[in-house]
Structure 1
């Protein structure tokens, strides 16, 4: 399961794509999201592990939303 930011968070993908390389925190969250997605592709993990990684992945997507929205508000002020 590759991470496609346009699919995951379409409303913020443009804002993210321009900031990932210059914002270390955003870059780190995207890398963590990629790792969580890769682990979800691992067929050897148990159902409970899969559920935990799915939860972590969901939290990472939510954190990206919060971070980008916070950055956009600070720019407009």
Structure 2
């Protein structure tokens, strides 16, 4: 299935913390992991553990800035 790099980046920008861009590119397991970390981070944010989880997701989101184009192009094959 053909994946649009532009759409992958739109999803990364608006829904990146939820891992939707990874699921779109065919990386469902890592997308669900990102979604799970975001949900757990949001729930545990008041007890400070969530801060660490959200930091991890934030770093992962920034790293995906450089990986998303490759993931979308790879899924085209």
CA distance in 1, matches of 2:45, 2:53: 13
Tell me which of the two structures has the higher relative contact order, counting C-alpha pairs closer than 8 angstroms and 6 or more residues apart: 2
Q: How does 1:8-23 map to 2 (within 5 A)?
A: 8-9=15-16, 17=24, 19-20=25-26
The ranges of structure 1 where at least 4 consecutive aligned residues each deviate by more than 2 angstroms after the TM superposition are 13-17, 62-67, 70-75
Instruction: Figure out how many residues of one structure are paired with residues of the other and give that number.
Output: 61
1:5-63 Cα distance to aligned partner (Å, 9 max, x none): 46234xxx77962x22xxxxx2222111111111023258622x121011111123234
> Alpha carbon RMSD of aligned pairs, Å?
3.3
**Consecutive unaligned residues in structure 1, runs of 5 or more:** 21-25
| In structure 1, distance between residues paired with 2:36 and 2:22 | 22
| Bigger helix share | 2
Report the equivalent of 1:23. none
Give the structure 2 partner of residue 53 of structure 1.
53
Q: Any residues of structure 2 matched to 1:1-77 within 5 Å, and which?
A: 5=11, 7-9=14-16, 17=24, 19-20=25-26, 26-43=27-44, 46-47=47-48, 49-72=49-72
* TM-score (normalised: structure 2): 0.50
What runs of 5+ residues in structure 2 fail to find an aligned partner? 1-10
